[in-house]
Amino acid sequence: MNKLKTIAFYECATSIKYVLYFYCIQYGFVAVIATILAFTIGLEDVTFNGQEISSVIFLAIVGCMAMGDDFKTLLQNGFTRKYIFAGMVSLIIFLALALSSCDLLISRLMPLFFNESSSLFEQIYGTDSAVANWLWSLALYFMIGFVCYFFRLLAHRLGKNGFIILGIVLIAVSILLAIYSYAIPDGIINAVNTFWARALGFVGGGRVNPYLPALTFTIISAVLAGGSYIAIRGAELK
């Protein structure tokens, strides 16, 4: 248990500086651009929206880099893949918690500087509930982290050529589905669309349930975490 705590602490502690770099660079740019605009056209007509997008990109990068230095360092230090996986899950949870909390705080502070500002959640669901917003971005970040981690592990297991072939097959299947969609009965297409709309919180009749997408993202994250665990158990050093 102690080693498990150590590996989780290692993953989180060695990532804090990157979170700080990320926010410093991101809001450094925002500050510079806002200052220029304030002195030129003024900030009255400037809007600040969708800061979650950059957090999603940051988490995607972290997920994709998971089989790099950390995997090698921990394997070199005698940890099993089970422990390395636990460390990565801790890292994703830590980053998702940190980024969603920071993003929520920023979304609450931005109206002090800009006349119009809204988070991605507010733009999609039209509600500014802080709890729902935080849960939604937390679950979204979990999911992004696990999607990228899963595909990075898949790429590691399949090798470059295998992963390219898998990509081509997936694209080909998507194109074929799009081309032959007319052959799929409308009932099925409507049922699929309705399912995903509800899963993402659009429950029908113009109503939204902002907590449903968080649940959906969490379920997808759990499935991908399971897939990642299976993939890492057989991952070898390359």
| Contact footprint for another protein (CB under 8 A) | 3, 6-7, 9-10, 14, 69-70, 72-73, 75-83, 233-234, 236-237
Rounded CA separation 222/233 (Å): 17
Q: Give the residue with the Cβ less far from another protein, 207 or 238.
A: 238
Q: β-strands 116-118, 47-49: how paired?
A: parallel
Cβ distance to another protein smaller for residue 73 or 194? 73
Sign of CA dihedral 199, 95, 146, 225: negative
CB of 102 to another protein, least distance (A): 22
**Between 64 and 215, CB nearer to another protein:** 64
CB of 87 to another protein, least distance (A): 11
Q: Which is nearer to another protein, 135 or 153 (CB)?
A: 153
- CB burial of 173-197 (b: ≥16 within 10 Å; e: otherwise) equals eeeeeeeeeeeeeeeeeeeeeeeee
Q: Which amino acid is at 55?
A: S
Q: Which one, 157 or 198, has the nearer CB to another protein?
A: 157
Q: What's the min distance (Å) between Cβ of 224 and another protein?
A: 22
Which string of DSSP letters, residue by residue, matches 21-75?
A: HHHHHHHHHHHHHHHHHHHHT-STT-EEE-THHHHHHHHHHHHHTTTTHHHHHHH
Please state the closest distance from residue 61 (CB atom) to another protein, in A: 14
SS3 category, 115: coil
Q: For 158, how many CA atoms within 13 A lie in the half-sphere containing its CB?
A: 14
Residues with Cβ within 8 Å of residue 221, at least 6 apart in sequence: 139, 142, 143, 145, 146
Task: For another protein, give the closer residue by CB, 48 or 83.
Answer: 83
Q: How far is the CB of 238 from another protein (least distance, A)?
A: 9
Smallest distance from the beta carbon of 49 to another protein, in angstroms? 33
CB of 237 to another protein, least distance (A): 4
Cβ closest to another protein, residue 22 vs residue 79: 79
The CA distances from residue 169 to 71, 164, 174, in Å, are 28, 9, 9
